Structure 1
Amino acid sequence: MKTLKQTNILIFAVPALLLAAAFFCNLFVEGFNWSLPDFIIAGILLFGTAFVINLVVHSQKTLLFKLIISGIVLLILLLIWIELAVGIFGSPFAGS
């Protein structure tokens, strides 16, 4: 069984690894062009999502409830990320 500290490390390591991968892709891959605000927004989105999922995982609710809420949180993250990238909803902060 995992301890609380191991679970927290795992939950927050995923966004850190994703941002590290994006950073190294930005350095070495042609066509990958993120600026500092892109990294800041991605960090806020990823670590914010990890924080909310961490709260859900450590709640006293049932496993089914935790899975449903975590899925909804991840779906919201995905929709915001897609909107910022390509603008599927046509909002004022949509990407190109």
Structure 2
Amino acid sequence: MNTLKAKRNTPQRLLILISIALLLLSVPLIAMQFTDEVNWSTFDFIVAGILLVGTGLAVEFVLRTIRSTQKRILLCGCILFVLFLIWAELAVGIFGTPWAGN
């Protein structure tokens, strides 16, 4: 019975995940209307959307498959850490890779 409820909530949880990603992407979109400091292209929004949705799906997968609370926290922390490293590299190039920003 519990798995039936989880299957029924999957589309709703996916909708929430996508809504949160769109809400976060709206911040630079709105900022672009008021300042020249934020200058994102369509490609920037696509990459950011893929990163946010991909991270959300990875966290959702961990929460659905791992039962140990300590392992959940550790894996979700690692996933978020990797997101922040990739985001920082794309924004300012902290590692100096060819796809670094600025």
TM superposition score normalised by structure 2 = 0.80
Consecutive unaligned residues of structure 1, counting only runs of 5 or more, are none
Could you report, residue by residue, the CA deviation over 1:52-89 in whole angstroms, capped at 9, with x for unpaired residues? Answer: 01111111421111111000000000000000011110
Letter in 1 for 2:52: L
Residue 36 of structure 1 pairs with residue 42 of structure 2: yes
Letter in 2 for 1:16: L
| Contact map agreement 2:91 2:101 (CA 8 A) in 1 | yes
**RMSD in angstroms over aligned alpha carbons?**
2.0
Letter in 1 for 2:31: C
State the identity %. Answer: 37
Letter in 2 for 1:80: I
Letter in 2 for 1:89: F
| Contact map agreement 1:11 1:54 (CA 8 A) in 2 | no
Aligned to 1:76: 82
Letter in 1 for 2:90: L
Aligned to 1:92: 98
Distance 2:62 2:34 in 1: 37
Distance 2:91 2:55 in 1: 18
- Quick check: 81-90 or 27-36, which moved more? 27-36
Aligned to 2:33: 27
SS of 2:65's equivalent in the other structure is coil
1:29: how far off?
A: 2.8
Instruction: Give the structure, 1 or 2, with the largest relative contact order (CA under 8 Å, sep 6 or more).
Output: 1
- Structure label with greater radius of gyration: 2
- Name the structure where helix makes up a greater proportion of residues: 2
1:24: how far off?
A: 1.4
TM superposition score normalised by structure 1 = 0.85
